[in-house]
Amino acid sequence: MAPSPTGEYHVGHIRTLLYNYAFAKKYNGQFIIRIEDTDRQRFVKGATEKILQVIKDYGFDWDEGPEKGGKHGPYIQTERLDIYKKYADKLIEKGFAYYCFCSEERLIEMRKIQKINSELPKYDRKCLQLSKEQVKKRLETGEEYVVRMKIPDNEVIVWADFIRGKISVLGKDIDDQVLIKSDGIPTYHFAVVVDDHLMEISHVMRGQDWIPSTPKQVLLYRFFGWETPVFVHLTDLMDPDRKGKMSKRYGSVFAKNFLDEGYLPEALLNFLMLLGWNPGDEREFFSLNEFIKEFSLERLHKKAPAFDKKKLDYFNKHYIQKKNDKELTKLLKVFLPKIDDNILLYLAPLLRERITKLSDVVELTRFLFEEVEYEKEMLLQRGATKKLVIEMMDKTIKLLEEMEKWDDVKNFQKKLLDLIKRNDWNTGQFFMVFRVALSGQKITPPIVECLSVLGKDKTIERLKKAIGIL
């Protein structure tokens, strides 16, 4: 996997990484991380460290790469510039590449004319006409240059994508790609070919956006006399309506954001496994190790899948419910860092069935730790009148004031049900009014079980406040 440190890591990159990782592990290969930082204009300081951390946060590790090293290093492209120069020089010697001294101004003017004439925008090869002596002289004077690849004109470049099959492109339609920029830094297309060969990469599994680049890379493998790897271009992740690639208008797109919202890594990975691959049966739930055993390139999809947040929620809820109380307490602590561990341990089983994301606990439990405010209409639940609510709360206060043991949930429940029965109140109506009076919310963890956390004084105080509001 070769992240570019140009910003936050997209969740789609995690899917690509997942498939690469599973394929490498299934066949006892090495999984390598390489940082492709040759796009210096879009380079973001600190992005490399953030990307590596989010990869770890999703539960992955790598066999070779940054922080670990390995026999194919260095694993950061800007630390490999001498390597790229060496191979660019070889292409020039063989006549497969050439020096180009054209200024940016000339190239801009050239493209303007091509656009006016409805011509394909590509370099006009002016510098290809230079003699060796002219090139040598201009190099000796220190003139700025780039190295361009010489694309065969009268040729059809053919290659096979594992998912899409045979793809053909006319050589005359491909621009003479820049291989080395004027600052000595390679372009993506050149660097990846050199690196993938030297790092013994057998399979290139990446997004379908890179399909247009592949013919140039196929040519480079041929020019060098190297074996071409297997290319596997994965489908995009689509918005839920399938009208475009996954975008921010439907929420998060960055891998870290999903974790920050309280999605579990194992739930996200399980969800992503099935966005572009299927096991051939109706199974839905896979651990990472199970996925590694089952994964195969043959079951990758040709049709782009929709990123359905509801389905992700379904997976996340499933994995949350599998956590035991101690595990869930540890996870909840991230979202409720100021709350005592013992209280969280008590709340964990009350919350487990009621949350879809871990972040849901913040709103669900806010009333236990902060003052609540609400309009009086909130208290008039299920048709309850002002008079009835005041009666309910008044009699409940008197009952609770007599209660000595404040952590006996069964006793609480029995006493309240007896009170409801004696007064011929509607049970559902009473508990909705009771819940709102204590929390200001219609949805909470089981409200009776929450009384021990609220405490006697605060519980009675809130019921009195409810009467005051009316």
Instruction: Please list the active-site residues.
Output: 248
- Distances from the Cα of 424 to the Cα of 46, 383, 419, angstroms: 65, 15, 8
| DSSP β-ladder status, 165-170 and 178-180 | unpaired
The number of residues in the chain equals 470
**Quick one: tokens of 439?**
């929390």
Task: State how far the Cα of 424 lies from the Cα of 421, in Å rounded to an integer.
Answer: 5
Sheet holding 156-161, edge to edge: 165-170, 156-161, 230-234, 203-207
The helix, strand and coil proportions of the chain, stated in percent and rounded to the nearest 5, come to 50, 10, 40
CA–CA distance from 2 to each of 5, 34, 195, 205, 340 (Å)?
10, 5, 11, 10, 42
Neighbouring CB atoms inside 10 A of 412's CB total 20
Distance between CA 280 and CA 424 in Å, rounded? 57
CA distance 376 to 95: 83
Rounded to the nearest 10 degrees, the angle between the axes of helix 341-352 and helix 360-369 is: 130
Whether the CB-CB separation of 389 and 466 falls below 8 Å is answered with: yes
Question: For residues 294 and 284, what is the distance between their CA atoms, to the nearest angstrom?
Answer: 12
Q: How far is CA 253 from CA 23, 112, 246, 269, in A?
A: 24, 36, 7, 15
Max intra-chain CA distance, the chain: 108
Hey, is 148 helix, strand or coil?
A: strand
Is there a contact between 304 and 163 (Cβ–Cβ < 8 Å)? no
| Backbone angles phi and psi of 275, in degrees to 5 | -95, 70
